């Protein structure tokens, strides 16, 4: 069993967990089993982001057709090759952000105990790729979980919340205390599942997500100020009138529906 403190200490030997890669390894087999059951379908391939020592990979293999994992750290990669000998397991020593997801033609599940420092770019990459996603199940630090489920008006509400909520049904699956990791992080985590709720339209999404990111470019400024670099004032005022928006409104005060309507008016 990889998810145990004795195994982690044994295979790490002289190695230290690398903070720069957000390495905190799961050492609770019960939690790992729960995550894998949520994440997998027997007939589907699971893509794993950041397998580390393989605690989650081992369990994902149990419940999936195959596992394709992306690990940035050469030390982890070497350990993984040694620890998991299953022909259904493939690991690529690669930064997930540089990986080519166009190689997947079939529907996939995605799972990972995500490294904190790149959680947001990883999620944007997944959402904006052409991957045919069945479900994404991720462990994130609680703060990122809050941003994902944030509603308009909240401090945490931003482009990430809007992209997620436009594309997926978000479910908070588990709260995970810090003591199930080695080394223990300073904050608690949460497991979240994301299930697609609409047919993909990449051309529309590219335009809409780019528009939303621009609206949040300077959070402290009014939406009007952020839009000024994209459209002339007359066009902005006309759009505000059509959407019934006040001139001093900020991006974080708009609902997903209001963003959609505003984008439609501009485009
Ligand atoms: N899945 C393991 C577990 O749950 O015990 C390890 C999780 S650890 C929080 C995150 C893992 O992601 C580390 O193994 C780290 O080296 C790897 N990682 C960090 N940045 C990455 C990136 N950009 N692409 C792929 N893997 C990355």
Q: Which two tokens stand for residue 93?
A: 């020593």
C-alpha–C-alpha distance, residues 182 and 15, integer Å: 13
Ligand 1 centroid distance, CA of 207 (Å)? 31
- How many Cβ atoms sit within 10 Å of the Cβ of residue 246? 10
DSSP three-state, residue 74? helix
Structure tokens at 134: 């069945």
Ligand 1 pocket (Cβ < 6 Å) reads: 21-26, 49-53, 55-56, 70-73, 76, 95-97, 113, 115, 118
Q: How much is the pLDDT for 55?
A: 98
Q: Where are the domains of the chain?
A: 5-196, 202-266
Fold designation for 5-196: Rossmann fold (3.40.50)
Contacts of residue 152, defined as CB under 8 A and 6 or more positions apart, other chains included, come to 252, 253, 254, 255
- Residues 241-250: tens digit of each pLDDT: 999 999 999 9
Contact yes or no for 87/57 (Cβ under 8 A): no
Choose one of 17, 39, 50, 92 to mutate for the ligand 1 pocket test, by most ligand atoms within 8 angstroms of C-beta: 50
d(CA 191, CA 93): 25
Minimal-distance CA residue to ligand 1 atom 1: 51
Task: Tell me which of 20, 21, 181, 189 to substitute to probe ligand 1's pocket, judged by most ligand atoms within 8 Å of the beta carbon.
Answer: 21
Position 18 scores a pLDDT of 96
- Return d(Cα 254, Cα 226) in angstroms, integer: 14
- What does DSSP assign to residue 223? H
What's domain 202-266's architecture?
A: Orthogonal Bundle (1.10)
DSSP3 helix / strand / coil % (the chain, rounded to 5):
45, 20, 35
- The Cα–Cα gap between 176 and 185 comes to 11
pLDDT of residue 190: 96
Q: Which of 64, 189, 198, 48 is nearest to 110 (CA)?
A: 48
Pocket test for ligand 1, best of 3, 22, 36 (most atoms within 8 A of CB): 22
Q: Which helix (H) or strand (E) holds 58?
A: helix 55-63
> pLDDT digit string (tens) for 22-62?
999 999 999 999 999 999 999 999 999 999 999 999 999 99
Q: Which pLDDT value is given to residue 220?
A: 86
Cα 89 to averaged position of ligand 1 atoms, centre (Å): 16
User: Would you write out the chain's pLDDT as a tens digit for each of its 267 residues?
Assistant: 899 999 999 999 999 999 999 999 999 999 999 999 999 999 999 999 999 999 999 999 999 999 999 999 999 999 999 999 999 999 999 999 999 999 999 999 999 999 999 999 999 999 999 899 999 999 999 999 999 999 999 999 999 999 999 999 999 999 999 999 999 999 999 999 999 999 999 999 999 999 999 999 998 899 999 999 889 999 999 999 999 999 999 999 999 999 999 999 998
């Amino acid at each position: 069993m990889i998810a145990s403190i004795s195994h982690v200490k044994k295979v790490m030997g002289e190695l230290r967990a690398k903070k720069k890669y957000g390495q905190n390894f799961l050492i609770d087999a019960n939690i790992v089993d729960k995550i894998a059951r949520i994440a997998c379908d027997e007939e589907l391939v699971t893509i794993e982001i950041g397998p580390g020592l393989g605690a989650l990979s081992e369990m994902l293999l149990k419940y999936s057709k195959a596992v394709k994992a992306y690990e940035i750290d050469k030390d982890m990669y070497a350990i993984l090759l040694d620890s998991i000998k299953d022909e259904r397991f493939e690991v690529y020593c690669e930064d997930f952000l540089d990986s080519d997801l166009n190689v997947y033609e079939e529907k996939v599940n995605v799972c990972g105990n995500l490294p904190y420092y790149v959680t947001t770019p990883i999620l944007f990459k997944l959402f904006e790729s052409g991957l045919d996603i069945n479900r994404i199940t991720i462990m994130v630090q609680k703060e990122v979980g809050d941003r994902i489920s944030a509603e308009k008006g909240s401090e945490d509400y931003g482009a990430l919340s809007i992209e997620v909520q436009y594309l997926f049904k978000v479910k908070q699956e588990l709260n995970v205390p810090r003591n199930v990791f080695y080394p223990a992080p300073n904050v608690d985590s949460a497991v979240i599942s994301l299930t697609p709720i609409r047919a993909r339209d990449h051309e529309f999404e590219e335009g809409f997500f780019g528009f939303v990111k621009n609206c949040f470019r300077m959070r402290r400024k009014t939406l009007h100020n952020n839009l000024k670099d994209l459209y002339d004032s007359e066009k902005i005022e006309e759009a505000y009138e059509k959407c019934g928006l006040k001139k001093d409104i900020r991006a974080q005060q708009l609902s997903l529906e209001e963003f959609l309507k505003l984008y439609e008016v501009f485009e």
